[in-house]
A and B are shown apart, each in its own frame.
Chain A
């Protein structure tokens, strides 16, 4: 028998839950206008859809390709479609979208940096932000999500605050807004969109060689912890990488691999890790079997110019300007050579 207490509780619990849902809806709305609408990923992915953009060469990759190459210095037939912190799963989603959307495409430039297959990178399995951009078949091919995972992603694409990582972002942004409201200095975006739809970042003016020893030590330590972990090669991520080559070949797109510039300190950590594990050499051997149209290795290109770096493995604005000229010159040679 249902007691009066039960009815009273059920009624109040329902009203209370509705109140919380209203609060949640308000927060979701705020999240959409405050964060989603201003999100670099969404803005840039949308911009890429523009039919007037018809590149022959598309550059994919993470922060290395994003910040080391200044898009403004490239001819119109090149398009820098890289985005920081993304991994091979997202590169492939972008590559597939490019192949589908841009008939002009002939070449894709991809990063070959060894850490791309590290467990830290492999952990990024969040694809909700691509649901509006990539066909669901592509997402299935790359992420192999279960029905439940797909359902969760769909839900969080509609109700973004259901996702803990979105709540983290919301918390951070709200914190900064509150800080600003009380007279605090506005904290600019760490990464922002500059002219020509190119991404810029707060670290681009830093000169690595002028940093104090302790800061450098911390930076190296961070990188080592993030990138040189065991198992060094995540099998699933590497499969995605290999499948990308088959896909590119099937669509008659040539792939050029690039090793981006790194500091002496970074290279030292890399070779120490290789001595201990042999992982780098092993990965290098695997690379030899890839159907690469060309490989450009710039790891040591600035060994005598450490002032071009802003951190362990990113160039500052000055270095990026010089590097862009170098890579463009090399790419033009390769592309010219293969043209009939």
Chain B
């Protein structure tokens, strides 16, 4: 059940209406039943995998709480092994098997281990990480959840079940016990957030996808300039796709009174890769920070170990996204960017002072933003390409495109090469321009709060424009959200 489908619209209206109509004590049951229906709408059988994770972690939480000494650690390990095991089996088995086949092949040995021919359960990495955060928090001293149903709801709360934000027990669990009265303002805010998310997904992301898919599906038929345009478009596609989903998830939860964490904070405004990761997929970044980076010692270790900690976290982050060398390289590139950024900090600062760039902060900031965006976009090539060979082909052909993009006279030929209708390209640029304006205004404070102060007719006109825009200008071809696959 995709958020941008009519089925979801009906589902959402039914569940939200019932939520406010039934007594408070039954609401968790309604949300749990709704979440089960929501998840089973994808592949029904996979509810069993989710069920396994819930049962194991529920009891692990209770045992960890009761146990003392080494037993606590033992129960935590059981929970982590179970979670990571499920992830490894469904997500990484074929990748490891494929790598083993290639490795054995180099020494002339045939690998007879069969490959799995099953679909990856949707959102597996998200709910597994959310479940893991629970047992880790209980191990760290948090009270275990006694109500099995509430715990199950924590793992599978439908708005954030398949693509996050990856919540923590301390933020979400207690909210299921709170009584949420119907609130006009909250309802209206939540719906507007959902509408903006839908606009980003259907109008911007899915339109950019048409061009991006065309180029990345067949790189051999395109040139360097096409790769640059397609990669920049992909950077915005994945942002609008994922943040659009998050907005819809947060909006849907908000209308019922639940507060889900922010997941994006204008990431392409970041002036360094470090800052980018404080703004992009925040719930995952903070998960890795709290449950991997800090336990590894964080930055309170010798320099080489610190570098190792950073690099390993990004490598695992890459692997979290997908079981292929492309994702590992994507993660490694971000790790390298960060290490380079840390290790060259003094040199760069000295350079900025030497050329007096620090005296014109506007230009300095703009340059930093552009360089950060370029690095992030470059890494996206590995994320998006269908294979490592395709990614390398694109990377090696990028330089030839730089020159032609600066030649204005060649632009019609470059954009003509995508063989898209003029209207589609115009709408793509219109969407990007609108996103740019909204994000620029967001720098000066919440745009939604500002809109609240406008007269009713202005607010309604804007809502109509957004709704009509999403409906008439959107692409509705059942295109799944990119992050569902992780």
A23 CB contact (under 8 Å) in B468, B473, B476: B468
Which residues of chain B come closer than 8 Å to A222, judged between CB atoms? 419
B422 CB contact (under 8 Å) in A6, A167, A175, A218: A175
Complex Cα gap A279–B464 (Å): 52
A-B contact pairs, 15 of them (CB 8 A): A3-B182, A5-B181, A5-B184, A5-B187, A6-B20, A9-B182, A9-B184, A9-B187, A20-B467, A167-B472, A171-B427, A171-B472, A176-B423, A218-B419, A222-B419
Contact in complex: B184, A8 (CB < 8 Å): yes
Which residues of chain A come closer than 8 Å to B472, judged between CB atoms? 27, 161, 167, 170-171
Which residues of chain A come closer than 8 Å to B476, judged between CB atoms? 164, 167
Interface of B toward A, CB cutoff 8 Å? 20, 181-184, 187-188, 218, 221, 419, 421-423, 426-427, 460, 463-464, 467-468, 471-473, 475-477
Query: Across the two chains, which residue of chain B brings its CB closest to A164?
Result: B476
Least Cβ–Cβ distance between B222 and chain A, in angstroms? 11
Complex Cα gap A20–B469 (Å): 12
Complex Cα gap A176–B187 (Å): 38
Complex Cα gap A223–B24 (Å): 60
Query: Across the two chains, which residue of chain A brings its CB closest to B20?
Result: A6
Which residues of chain B come closer than 8 Å to A84, judged between CB atoms? none
Complex Cα gap A170–B419 (Å): 20
Question: How many contacts between A and B, using CB within 8 angstroms?
Answer: 49
Which residues of chain A come closer than 8 Å to B419, judged between CB atoms? 218, 222
**Contacts of A169-199 to chain B: CB distance below 8 A:** 170-172, 175-176, 179
Which residues of chain B come closer than 8 Å to A27, judged between CB atoms? 472
Contact in complex: B477, A20 (CB < 8 Å): no
A5 CB contact (under 8 Å) in B183, B473, B475: B183
Per-position contact with B for A76-96: 1 when CB-CB < 8 Å, else 0?
Answer: 000000000000000000000
Extra contacts, 18 of them, besides A167-B476, A171-B423 (Cβ < 8 A), are: A3-B181, A5-B181, A5-B182, A5-B183, A5-B187, A6-B182, A9-B184, A9-B188, A16-B463, A19-B460, A27-B472, A164-B477, A167-B471, A170-B472, A175-B423, A175-B426, A176-B423, A225-B218
Query: Across the two chains, which residue of chain A brings its CB closest to B463?
Result: A16
The answer to whether A126 has its CB under 8 Å from any CB of chain B is no
Complex Cα gap A8–B184 (Å): 7
Least Cβ–Cβ distance between A299 and chain B, in angstroms? 26
A221 CB contact (under 8 Å) in B183, B184, B221: B221
Which residues of chain A come closer than 8 Å to B468, judged between CB atoms? 20, 23
Complex Cα gap A167–B475 (Å): 9
Which residues of chain B come closer than 8 Å to A218, judged between CB atoms? 419
- Which 9 pairs across A and B sit closest by C-beta, in order of nearness? A175-B423, A5-B184, A164-B476, A6-B182, A172-B423, A9-B184, A3-B182, A5-B182, A9-B187
Query: Across the two chains, which residue of chain B brings its CB closest to A179?
Result: B422
Query: Across the two chains, which residue of chain A brings its CB closest to B182?
Result: A6
Complex Cα gap A218–B417 (Å): 9
Complex Cα gap A23–B472 (Å): 11
Complex Cα gap A23–B221 (Å): 43
Q: Using A27-B472, A164-B477 as known contacts, say yes or no to A172 and B464 having CB atoms under 8 A apart.
A: no
Q: Using A164-B476, A164-B477, A171-B423 as known contacts, say yes or no to A23 and B182 having CB atoms under 8 A apart.
A: no
Query: Across the two chains, which residue of chain A brings its CB closest to B478?
Result: A164
B464 CB contact (under 8 Å) in A8, A20, A167: A20
Query: Across the two chains, which residue of chain B brings its CB closest to A4?
Result: B184
Least Cβ–Cβ distance between A329 and chain B, in angstroms? 38
Contact in complex: B421, A172 (CB < 8 Å): yes
Query: Across the two chains, which residue of chain B brings its CB closest to A176?
Result: B423
Which residues of chain A come closer than 8 Å to B467, judged between CB atoms? 20
**Contacts of A217-250 to chain B: CB distance below 8 A:** 218, 221-222, 225
Which residues of chain B come closer than 8 Å to A164, judged between CB atoms? 475-477
Query: Across the two chains, which residue of chain B brings its CB closest to A161?
Result: B472
Per-position contact with B for A4-20: 1 when CB-CB < 8 Å, else 0?
Answer: 01101100000010011
Least Cβ–Cβ distance between A156 and chain B, in angstroms? 12
Which residues of chain A come closer than 8 Å to B463, judged between CB atoms? 16
| Candidate in B181, B464, B472 with the most chain A CB atoms within 10 angstroms | B472
Which residues of chain A come closer than 8 Å to B183, judged between CB atoms? 5
Query: Across the two chains, which residue of chain B brings its CB closest to A217?
Result: B221
Complex Cα gap A326–B221 (Å): 38
Which residues of chain A come closer than 8 Å to B20, judged between CB atoms? 6
Which residues of chain A come closer than 8 Å to B471, judged between CB atoms? 167
Least Cβ–Cβ distance between B214 and chain A, in angstroms? 10
Complex Cα gap A166–B476 (Å): 11
Least Cβ–Cβ distance between B338 and chain A, in angstroms? 40
Least Cβ–Cβ distance between A202 and chain B, in angstroms? 14
Complex Cα gap A221–B460 (Å): 48
Least Cβ–Cβ distance between B134 and chain A, in angstroms? 34
Query: Across the two chains, which residue of chain A brings its CB closest to B460?
Result: A16
Least Cβ–Cβ distance between A187 and chain B, in angstroms? 9
| Candidate in A171, A221, A225 with the most chain B CB atoms within 10 angstroms | A171
Contact in complex: B473, A171 (CB < 8 Å): yes
Complex Cα gap A179–B468 (Å): 20
Least Cβ–Cβ distance between A185 and chain B, in angstroms? 12
Which residues of chain A come closer than 8 Å to B181, judged between CB atoms? 3, 5
Least Cβ–Cβ distance between A55 and chain B, in angstroms? 36
Complex Cα gap A171–B426 (Å): 11
Query: Across the two chains, which residue of chain B brings its CB closest to A17?
Result: B467
Query: Across the two chains, which residue of chain A brings its CB closest to B422?
Result: A175
Which residues of chain A come closer than 8 Å to B188, judged between CB atoms? 9
Per-position contact with B for A140-176: 1 when CB-CB < 8 Å, else 0?
Answer: 0000000000000000000001001001001110011
| Candidate in A9, A19, A176 with the most chain B CB atoms within 10 angstroms | A9
Complex Cα gap A171–B181 (Å): 41
Least Cβ–Cβ distance between A230 and chain B, in angstroms? 15
Complex Cα gap A3–B419 (Å): 55
Complex Cα gap A327–B472 (Å): 45
Complex Cα gap A161–B473 (Å): 12
Complex Cα gap A164–B6 (Å): 12
Complex Cα gap A60–B484 (Å): 44
Which residues of chain A come closer than 8 Å to B473, judged between CB atoms? 171
**Contacts of A245-298 to chain B: CB distance below 8 A:** none
Least Cβ–Cβ distance between B137 and chain A, in angstroms? 35
Which residues of chain B come closer than 8 Å to A170, judged between CB atoms? 472
Least Cβ–Cβ distance between A54 and chain B, in angstroms? 41
